[in-house]
Amino acid sequence: MEKQPLLVSSSPHLHCGMNTRDIMRDVVIALIPALVASVWLFGFRALAVEVVCVASAIATEYLSRLVMKRPQTVGDLSCVVTGLLLAFNLPVTIPLWQAAFGSVVAIAVAKQMFGGLGQNFVNPALVGRIVLMGSFPDAMNNWEVPLSWLGKADAVTGATPLALLGTEGAADIEPLQLLFGLRGGCLGETCVAALLLGGIYLVVRHVISPLIPVIYLATVFVLTWLLGSDPLVQVLSGGLMLGAVFMATDYATCPINKAGKVVYAIGCGLITVLIRMFGSLPEGVSFAIVIMNILSPLIERATKPRPFGAGKAVRS
Amino acid sequence: MNNVYWKTFSKGLIKENPTFRLVLGTCPTLAVTTAAVNGLGMGAAATFVLVCSNIVISLLRKVIPDKVRLPAYIVIIAAFTTIVQMLVKAYLPAIDKSLGIYLPLIVVNCIILGRAEAFAGKNPVGLSALDGLGMGAGFTAALVVMGSIREFLGNGTVFGWPEGGLIPAITIFVLPAGGFFVFGMLIWLTNKLSQHLDNNATRKELTACAGCPMAVKCHTEEGCRHE
């Protein structure tokens, strides 16, 4: 890449000063509220899972670049983001070696084997999560009741709101509780308020555009409402907020232009709702995003903008 | 050892391994290798059909008219597959159960028809039998290696031993996704190994026709018909 001469228009040029490292640092900052919330809700074991995931992600990134004899990229912090996002997608009770295994798969298989940051065709953290779901279905479905580490709750494990929906327990779900993460679930997905805070920070810093998260959430809201479910509970539960704000917006795996982003976000919402309402799994955010990641190049091709003044695109 | 018979037999093991180098018979490879013993059963059954059909097709190569050779080959292969299927059903019902539909599907296994077309239809009986044996051994070895890896990682066991598993099971390896992953890794490994074995082959040659595993059998000057 570096060797090719880059031909651009004549000077002067402005550089905004942003680089990958700055962007990734902003994402890490945006994830901090959810990280704090996860420790508050699930205790210090949550922190242990997060540390293990991030550390093994960094180590895997370093080692795989070393083995492949490629320039070292640990410094761009993208592996920290991947490790943290993966940890946010795991239940607090997961054995630590399994969490580390997920990180290794995410970085080595989903990212570095395809050429590193920007070359990965799906979100690495989600690949890690899906591989762990396929590998250790029991460990990945063990939901601890929040705040039970303080010894205040009667039960230690319980069902997640999405598993309760459609059963008698659905009446107990209160949207306000969901907003502050007082429910069973993965580490980082439960506290919707903290995730929203991070999302707003990213939008304000122009790291992400609000287009994908807003349309994704709106699609889920409208579709679940049409299908007769409680749309507010649907939007606030599961990994939807985490997925919509932090995973669906991954630069490398979502379409570039606006029309493509809209199609992509609607697709994410549609698949999520289909899996939630009609699938055998209670939650479908990770599969929805991965499927749309894979479809992104096709969406990109279909929504290619026509240059001003050019004729109608000729199909080759 | 370096005569034509040894060469005919040994090329199927690594250099022209049907599974990892020619990438034939992928469907049974991915489907039955969830356990090493399944791979062994599938490999043995396919080897039997391969050797027998190679012998018969080679014997009949001057009798079968060129225009109807494919239906004729298929009839011969189907006959032997039926024999294998009945034998396995009678004597190894457990294997029959775990292989399921993939046992009768040996009829359409591309390795067997591929060898009939590429080798047995043009060569004498002895060589054809050796070719079938070598290709069958390569196929069996590939299935057993892949089955062992997937069984050990995905179930913690080695040929079903011990009961509880030696290591904690990583179930994804016995699921289709893990199958594709292990398959890809083994293809990479075999390519590396066969490059290493072939001392004369430089990287440049490997990208051209000479690097093609079918090069020995390729008679067309203009281009490759195995695309």
Write out pLDDT tens, residues B200-225: 555 544 455 555 666 655 555 555 54
Say whether B171 and A131 touch across the interface (CB within 8 A): no
Say whether B172 and A101 touch across the interface (CB within 8 A): no
Of A61-75, A223-237, B201-215, the range with the lowest mean pLDDT is B201-215
Instruction: Compare CB distances from B171 to A101, A109, A135 and report the shortest one's residue.
Output: A135
Count of beta carbons in the 10 Å neighbourhood of residue B36: 23
Q: Quote the pLDDT of residue B205.
A: 47
In a domain, A277, yes or no: yes
What domain range includes position A225? 20-302
In a domain, A308, yes or no: no
Rounded average pLDDT over A66-93: 91
More confident position, A141 or A200: A200
In a domain, B27, yes or no: yes
Rounded average pLDDT over A308-315: 66
In a domain, A309, yes or no: no
In a domain, A126, yes or no: yes
Rounded average pLDDT over A271-300: 91
CA–CA separation, B10 and B133 (whole Å): 9
Provide the domain count of chain A: 1
Name the minimum distance, in Å, from the CA of B104 to any CA of chain A.
Answer: 30
What domain range includes position B146? 4-217
In a domain, A250, yes or no: yes
**Residue from B172, B174, B182, B187 whose CB has the most chain A CBs within 10 Å, to mutate:** B172
Which value does ipTM take for this structure? Answer: 0.78
More confident position, A273 or A151: A273
In a domain, A44, yes or no: yes
User: In chain A, which residues have their Cβ closer than 8 Å to the Cβ of B170?
Assistant: 101, 135-136
Name the minimum distance, in Å, from the CA of A229 to any CA of chain B.
Answer: 33
Cβ proximity of A56 and A82 under 8 Å: no
In a domain, A219, yes or no: yes
User: In chain A, which residues have their Cβ closer than 8 Å to the Cβ of B177?
Assistant: 131, 134
User: In chain B, which residues have their Cβ closer than 8 Å to the Cβ of A135?
Assistant: 169-173
**Residue from B171, B181, B183, B185 whose CB has the most chain A CBs within 10 Å, to mutate:** B171
In a domain, B158, yes or no: yes
Q: Quote the pLDDT of residue B181.
A: 93
Burial class (CB in 10 A: 0-12, 13-18, 19+), B221: exposed
The 10s digit of each residue's pLDDT in B108-144 is 888 999 999 889 988 999 999 999 999 999 999 999 9
Say whether A136 and B178 touch across the interface (CB within 8 A): no
In a domain, B131, yes or no: yes
The 10s digit of each residue's pLDDT in B57-89 is 999 999 999 899 999 999 999 999 999 999 999
Name the minimum distance, in Å, from the CA of B37 to any CA of chain A.
Answer: 22
Q: Give the closest residue to A38 by CA, choosing from A56, A25, A51.
A: A51
In a domain, A307, yes or no: no
User: In chain B, which residues have their Cβ closer than 8 Å to the Cβ of A109?
Assistant: 181
**For A127, nearest residue in chain B (alpha carbons):** B177
Domain containing residue A77: CATH number: 1.10.3430
In a domain, B126, yes or no: yes
Where does the pLDDT of residue B191 fall: very low under 50, low under 70, confident under 90, or very high at 90 and above?
confident
User: In chain B, which residues have their Cβ closer than 8 Å to the Cβ of A131?
Assistant: 172, 177
Question: Quick check: A46 pLDDT over 70?
Answer: yes
Where does the pLDDT of residue B227 fall: very low under 50, low under 70, confident under 90, or very high at 90 and above?
very low
Q: Quote the pLDDT of residue B179.
A: 93
In a domain, B98, yes or no: yes
Instruction: Tell me the range of A106-120, A147-161, B46-60 where mean pLDDT is highest.
Output: B46-60
Provide the domain count of chain B: 1
**Residue from A131, A140, A291 whose CB has the most chain B CBs within 10 Å, to mutate:** A131
Where does the pLDDT of residue A1 fall: very low under 50, low under 70, confident under 90, or very high at 90 and above?
very low
A5 φ/ψ sector (left φ>0, alpha ψ -120 to 50, else beta) = beta
Q: Quote the pLDDT of residue A143.
A: 83
Of A75-79, B163-167, B198-202, the range with the lowest mean pLDDT is B198-202
Tell me the pLDDT of chain A averaged across its residues: 87
Instruction: Compare CB distances from B171 to A101, A109, A136 and report the shortest one's residue.
Output: A136
B185 inside 8 A of chain A by CB: no
Q: Which residues does A contribute to its contact with B (CB < 8 Å)?
A: 101, 109, 131, 134-137
Q: Quote the pLDDT of residue A199.
A: 94
Q: Which of residues 144-173 of B touch A (CB under 8 A)?
A: 169-173
The 10s digit of each residue's pLDDT in B142-153 is 999 999 999 999
Q: Quote the pLDDT of residue B75.
A: 94
The token duo for A198 is 């991070």
3-state secondary structure of B52: helix
In a domain, B224, yes or no: no
Where does the pLDDT of residue A137 fall: very low under 50, low under 70, confident under 90, or very high at 90 and above?
confident
What number of C-beta contacts closer than 8 Å exist between A and B?
Answer: 17
Where does the pLDDT of residue A202 fall: very low under 50, low under 70, confident under 90, or very high at 90 and above?
very high
Say whether A134 and B181 touch across the interface (CB within 8 A): no
Where does the pLDDT of residue A162 fall: very low under 50, low under 70, confident under 90, or very high at 90 and above?
confident
